[in-house]
Amino acid sequence: VTLTGLYNRNIEKPSFFLGGAAVRAGQDNSMRHGVGLQQYLFTGGMYAHGTKAARLGVEGGISQVKAAKEDTALAVKRFFYAVCLASETVAIQEDFLSLAEDHLKTIEERYRQGLDSDLTVLRQKVEVAGAKPSLLNARNAQEIALTLLKDILGLDVDAPVRLVGALAGPTVALVPYETLQQAALERNPSYQAARKQFEQAQATLSVQKGFRWPWLSAYADYQWYSESNDSWPGPKERATSSVLGLRLSYPLFSGGQISAKVRQAASQLDSARTGMDKAARGIRVEVKRQWLMVKE
């Protein structure tokens, strides 16, 4: 439904020629208002498929947002436990270095008493020296994991953060691999988004094919128009008109544009199918990798 309005002020009135003489016509003010309605009755399924494509696009976007949220939550958990693991590794390396230094003192004392050789002392010094970079690497790994955690949380990388928790997770029952694989394909939001994109591409292809069909539409139009030298027309200066009809149009020749768009949509469908298959393969690989890690 379209509402239109038009107002003209004739600075110079239009003329027409009669018997070789110019005759002025019209009034100073002219107005035309109208209400038009057009309803498509048949478009080769284009509107239905277009609506479906739009709906699938929204659903795919929702799945992408869900995937982003779940990826963020997973990253937070992963970095949290990485910091916990690094902290435990630092404690282990500190204990190892402390034990190696204590053992070195014992060996040096035994060497002074003539109970151990200088080779044994040298070997223990090498072990102590080797433990120090391992402790430094463990501390660096802890700091990097903490920095990544602060980054995913949107905090300043130098902000002081203290984690409350320990390196302990729930006991996981090892579900059969085939069951996990099927569940992942049904629930994974990234795969669902890829599947929605594939279905959207299918609907888009149907939309482009709809341009090959004739279009049938019904239309109605009502107009109110007037001309007057006054600011507002009088009863005899106003008139109305109305029309009702059917319109049939067929794209007889478009210079190959429709066929090109159909081929483009078909190519996008193939690309979406490849993306969906790739997402499914990636999920299966990841499920198997994680399943083997849990089993290990």
Res 231 pLDDT > 80: no
Q: pTM of the full predicted structure?
A: 0.63
The neighbour count for residue 174, using CB atoms within 10 Å, is 9
Predicted confidence at residue 169, as pLDDT, reads 64
Looking at the chain, the whole-number percentage of residues with pLDDT higher than 90 is 53
Total Cβ atoms within 10 A of residue 283: 18
Report pLDDT for 267: 96
pLDDT of residue 178: 85
Q: Rounded mean pLDDT of 70-83?
A: 92
**Stretch 67-83: mean pLDDT:** 91
pLDDT 10s digits, 151-199: 999 999 888 988 888 777 667 778 888 888 889 988 888 899 999 999 9
DSSP the chain: -EEEEEEEE-SS--EEEETTEEEE-S-SEEEEEEEEEEEEEESTTHHHHHHHHHHHHHHHHHHHHHHHHHHHHHHHHHHHHHHHHHHHHHHHHHHHHHHHHHHHHHHHHHHHTTSS-HHHHHHHHHHHHHHHHHHHHHHHHHHHHHHHHHHHTT--TTS-------S---------HHHHHHHHHHH-HHHHHHHHHHHHHHHHHHHHHHTTS-EEEEEEEEEEEEEESSSS--GGGEEEEEEEEEEEE-----TTHHHHHHHHHHHHHHHHHHHHHHHHHHHHHHHHHHHHHHH-
Half-sphere exposure in the Cβ direction for 145 (13 Å, CA): 23
**Mean pLDDT on 59-82:** 91
Contact in structure between 116 and 122 (CB atoms under 8 Å): no
Neighbours of 218 (CB within 10 A): 13
